């Protein structure tokens, strides 16, 4: 397993699990607590999620306050453009973003700690996205940022994404109150 730290956000880990291929396909161990703890992740996951989406679907940018979630994200099938945004008010990188492509055939994972908003856009015909969370989903604690916030300037690979009504109504980062952000 290979671990890299994101240059912009050293708290974010990019994990390349060992992938075993043969004529039948491949096998990958997607999580093993002692390996991930040894690499400094130290997260305790309580909930696993799976999302199926079709091309041009954009989900996010989501995060929770109060019941904050760290996430370990990977793609089981297809390809996505995955994005994280720093929503920690006191951080020198507040409002900055990082994006990368995740592909099912590579099994690359990204660990997103508490303090970051997360979203993704499907760039293949369809995608199955898996993620482990460090706290349970709580609608009362959910927050979000508009995907097309001009102050963020995220370079999404689509200009006309398919959005949920909720995601389309999220506010811009500058319009969020202190209670909607991390210290």
Q: Where are the domains of the chain?
A: 45-180
What is the CATH number assigned to the segment(s) 45-180?
2.60.120.10
Q: Name the nearest CA neighbour of 19 among 108, 131, 127, 124.
A: 108
118 included as an active-site residue = no
Q: What is the pTM of this model?
A: 0.94
Residues 63, 47, 49, 6, CA torsion sign: positive
pLDDT per residue, tens digit, the chain (183 aa), is 899 999 999 999 999 999 999 999 999 999 988 888 888 787 799 999 999 999 999 999 999 999 999 999 999 999 999 999 999 999 999 999 999 999 999 999 999 999 999 999 999 999 999 999 999 999 999 999 999 999 999 999 999 999 999 999 999 999 999 999 999
131 included as an active-site residue = yes
- Which entry of 31, 111, 131, 137 is annotated as an active-site residue? 131
3-state secondary structure (DSSP) of residue 129: strand
- Which entry of 62, 63, 111, 118 is annotated as an active-site residue? 62
Structure token digits, residue 85: 């945004």
């Amino acid at each position: 397993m290979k671990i890299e730290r994101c240059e912009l956000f050293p708290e974010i880990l990019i994990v390349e699990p060992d992938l075993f291929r043969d004529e039948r396909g491949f096998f990958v161990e997607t999580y093993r607590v002692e390996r991930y703890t040894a690499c400094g992740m130290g997260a305790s996951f309580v909930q696993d999620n799976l999302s199926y989406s079709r091309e041009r679907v954009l989900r996010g940018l989501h995060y929770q306050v109060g019941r904050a979630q760290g996430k370990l994200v990977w793609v089981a099938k297809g390809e996505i453009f995955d994005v994280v945004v720093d929503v920690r008010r006191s951080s020198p990188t507040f409002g900055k973003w990082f994006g990368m492509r995740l592909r099912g055939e590579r099994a690359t994972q990204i660990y997103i700690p508490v303090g970051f908003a997360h979203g993704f856009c499907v760039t293949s015909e369809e995608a199955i996205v898996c993620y482990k969370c460090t706290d349970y989903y709580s609608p009362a604690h959910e927050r979000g940022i508009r995907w097309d916030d001009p102050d963020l300037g995220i370079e999404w690979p689509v200009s006309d994404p398919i959005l949920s009504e909720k995601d389309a109504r999220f506010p811009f980062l500058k319009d969020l109150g202190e209670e909607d952000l991390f210290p």
